């Protein structure tokens, strides 16, 4: 798998070094190097980017705030000369945090962590690890076993999905919503929108074209899936 990368750093020497590290790493591909997050916006909106190396201390908008503005953002590895930003970086689900000056060995270790995280889960892997009761999900560079009953809903996010769980933080494996849908028991889960699958046992109520599930979370039901969802509701209604 080739990982498409961006490097963002306002310091020319640091940016040049990061770009050279990316270019010399066989499984990374440098898609762009920018002096600020603002300069990178256009490319991010038009091109699939898998991983960004983002400096935190930058003028205009710092790296943390820049990442917060992104929707369906790529995975992030923060770079900075100040260790006190590490906690904030990990709160944004950063894969890693590199403290300047950054040697190639440190860079490669972080890049390999990203590769382990981003390697797609194949259909065969899903079949080997799936059962009616649990799934093994590849996320955060490890395979995590989750109970199917623990899934509240699943949200599609381009190449990723976000699996929302009752008893743990969400998981974000690199797999399509369609592929994951095929592995879930059809009598317990339903696609109700191009971006959502819900656990039918977690439904609290239905209000107009929205499903209310645990924790007062509202999930839209799109026209494409409204008929099949209505059939399910009718088959489980009294009177």
Could you give the CA distance from residue 148 to residue 151 in angstroms, rounded to a whole number? 6
CATH number of the 123-235 domain = 2.40.50.1020
Q: What pTM value is reported for the model?
A: 0.53
User: Tell me, what's the pLDDT at 171?
Assistant: 87
Residues in a beta bridge with 220: 210
User: Tell me, what's the pLDDT at 125?
Assistant: 46
Residues in a beta bridge with 137: 144
* Block mean pLDDT (10 aa), the chain, length 239: 91 96 93 93 86 90 87 83 70 84 93 80 47 74 83 83 87 82 88 94 90 87 91 82
Residue 34 neighbours by CB under 8 Å, 6+ apart: 6, 7, 8, 15, 40, 43
Q: Which fold has domain 3-118?
A: Rossmann fold (3.40.50)
Could you give the CA distance from residue 119 to residue 96 in angstroms, rounded to a whole number? 16
Domain ranges (residues) in the chain: 3-118, 123-235
Residue 53 has, within 13 A of its CA and on its CB side, a CA count of 35
The pairing of beta strand 51-55 with beta strand 3-8:
parallel
């Amino acid at each position: 798998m080739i990982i498409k990368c961006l490097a963002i750093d306002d310091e020319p020497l640091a940016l040049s070094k990061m770009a050279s590290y990316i270019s010399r790493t066989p499984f990374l591909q440098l898609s762009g190097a920018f002096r600020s997050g603002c300069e990178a916006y256009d490319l991010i909106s038009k091109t699939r980017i898998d991983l960004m190396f983002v400096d935190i201390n930058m003028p205009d908008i710092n790296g943390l705030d820049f990442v917060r503005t992104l929707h369906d953002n790529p995975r992030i590895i923060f770079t900075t000369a100040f260790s006190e930003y590490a906690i904030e970086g990990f709160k944004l689900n950063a894969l890693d945090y590199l403290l300047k000056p950054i040697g190639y060995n440190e860079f490669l270790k972080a890049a390999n962590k990203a590769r382990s995280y981003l390697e797609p889960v194949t259909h065969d892997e899903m079949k080997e690890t799936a059962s009616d009761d649990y799934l093994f999900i590849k996320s955060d560079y490890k395979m995590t076993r989750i109970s199917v009953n623990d899934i509240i809903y699943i949200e599609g996010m381009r190449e990723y999905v976000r699996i929302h769980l009752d008893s743990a933080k969400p998981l974000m494996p690199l797999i399509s919503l369609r592929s994951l849908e095929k592995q879930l028991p059809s009598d317990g889960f339903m696609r109700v929108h191009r971006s959502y699958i819900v656990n039918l046992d977690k439904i609290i109520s239905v209000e107009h074209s929205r499903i209310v599930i645990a924790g007062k979370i509202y999930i839209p039901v799109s026209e494409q899936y409204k008929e099949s969802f209505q059939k399910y509701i009718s088959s489980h209604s009294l009177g």
